[in-house]
Amino acid sequence: MSEYQYYEFLAIDRPLDDAEQAEGRSLSTRARITATSFVNEYHWGDSKGNPNRLMERALST
């Protein structure tokens, strides 16, 4: 049985550049990605990315 998953990441210190947005798109073709946000919902599947690693990577830059 699948679970509902909702991920929302906001860029608060600076906008995401084109390369960073492309990296987000490589994780999900359905995500809504802008220079300031990444939003994705899963109803029947699972994220390809590890949310904890995404946060660690984002906070280390």
Read off the pTM.
0.68
Helix (H, G, I), strand (E, B), or coil: what is residue 9?
strand
The answer, yes or no, to whether residue 48 has pLDDT greater than 80, is: no
The answer, yes or no, to whether residue 51 has pLDDT greater than 80, is: no
The answer, yes or no, to whether residue 35 has pLDDT greater than 90, is: yes
Which of the two residues, 60 and 10, has the higher pLDDT score? 10
Helix (H, G, I), strand (E, B), or coil: what is residue 20?
helix
Ordered strands of the 37-42 beta sheet? 5-10, 37-42, 32-33
For residue 7, CA distances in Å to 41, 51 come to 6, 8
Of 55, 58, 60, 11, nearest to 33 (Cα)?
Answer: 11
10 Å CB burial of residue 18 (0-12, 13-18, 19+) is exposed
